[in-house]
């Protein structure tokens, strides 16, 4: 089974703080993704990475950055947290290879509250 | 533009009733469509994909290219089907990105 682990289940931060959300996968998958999940808006892609040190902006990258120094770890960084970044953050991975390469596997999510 | 639309935020049915969760997409090429499900307190997971043509937990979905739809159906809803359902699209030639719809909460009442 693919295991996608997000470092925190719940996080409370203050406006202006720098926030790190970590995601680790154990299946040697090439692709990793960060989404926001908000009621009525579905899942919106923030950033994704298809290789170590490679990244591409998704649909809502403003206010976020990412880091992928190792294949198994993909970090989402909120440079200066704001209240409108209060949300559920989901990490996902996919192998990128073969017929099942596009299937994404998700972490349990990090619920971030910015006060 | 690539887009997935799920017109219903909430679908409420009684146990044993048929269920149809609607999904429409906009894509000019040959899409691959998925349904993902998130049960309470569980992570989002794949329910089914159109190329597999399988029935999972009694659910089926047929890709209708003429109507650009991929509705999820089940003839007899069970209480354990209550969850959030997302339709997603993967376009050909992309880097593995999925485009998700807004999600539909299915509530099955006893």
pLDDT in tens, A37-76: 998 899 999 999 998 988 999 999 999 999 999 999 999 9
| Cα distance between residue B89 and residue A49, in whole Å | 18
Q: Do B43 and A107 touch (CB under 8 A)?
A: yes
pLDDT in tens, B34-46: 999 999 999 999 9
Residue of chain B whose Cα is closest to the Cα of A102: B96
Q: Do B49 and A103 touch (CB under 8 A)?
A: yes
Give the pLDDT band (50/70/90) at residue A114.
Answer: very high
pLDDT in tens, B56-85: 899 999 899 899 999 999 999 999 999 999
Return the pLDDT at B2.
86
Buried-exposed string B65-100: b where 16+ CB fall within 10 A, e elsewhere: eeebbbbbebeebeeebbbbbbbbbbbeeeebbbbb
Q: Which residues of B touch A58 (CB under 8 A)?
A: 97
Residue of chain B whose Cα is closest to the Cα of A101: B96
Q: Which residues of B touch A34 (CB under 8 A)?
A: none
Q: What Cα–Cα distance (Å) separates residue B75 from each residue in A96, B17, B59, B63?
A: 34, 7, 8, 18
- If one counts every other C-beta atom within 10 angstroms of the C-beta of residue A43, the result is 27
Q: Do B95 and A109 touch (CB under 8 A)?
A: no
Q: Where are the beta strands (DSSP E) in A26-72?
A: 31-38, 42-51, 54-57, 64-70
Count CA within 13 A, CB hemisphere, residue B19: 31
End-to-end CA distance of chain A: 37
pLDDT in tens, A5-35: 999 999 999 999 999 999 999 999 999 999 9
């Amino acid at each position: 089974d693919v295991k996608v682990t997000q470092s925190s289940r719940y996080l409370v931060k203050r406006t202006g703080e720098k926030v790190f959300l970590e995601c680790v996968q154990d299946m040697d998958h090439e692709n990793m993704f960060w989404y926001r999940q908000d009621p009525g808006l579905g899942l919106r892609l923030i950033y994704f990475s298809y290789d170590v040190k490679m990244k591409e902006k998704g649909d809502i990258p403003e206010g976020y950055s990412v880091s992928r120094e190792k294949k198994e770890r993909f970090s989402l960084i909120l440079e200066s947290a704001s209240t409108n970044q209060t949300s559920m953050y989901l990490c996902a991975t996919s192998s990128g290879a073969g017929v099942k390469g596009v299937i994404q596997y998700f972490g349990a999510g990090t619920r971030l509250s910015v006060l | 533009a690539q887009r997935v639309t799920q017109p219903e935020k909430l679908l409420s049915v009684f146990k044993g009733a048929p269920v149809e969760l609607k999904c429409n997409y906009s894509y000019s090429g040959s899409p691959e469509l998925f349904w993902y499900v998130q049960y309470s307190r569980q992570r989002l997971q794949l329910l089914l994909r159109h190329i597999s043509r399988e029935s999972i937990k009694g659910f089926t979905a047929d890709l209708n290219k003429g109507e650009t739809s991929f509705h999820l159906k089940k003839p007899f809803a069970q209480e354990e089907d209550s969850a959030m359902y997302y339709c997603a699209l993967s376009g050909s030639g992309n880097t593995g990105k999925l485009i998700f719809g807004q999600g539909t909460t299915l509530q099955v009442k006893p």
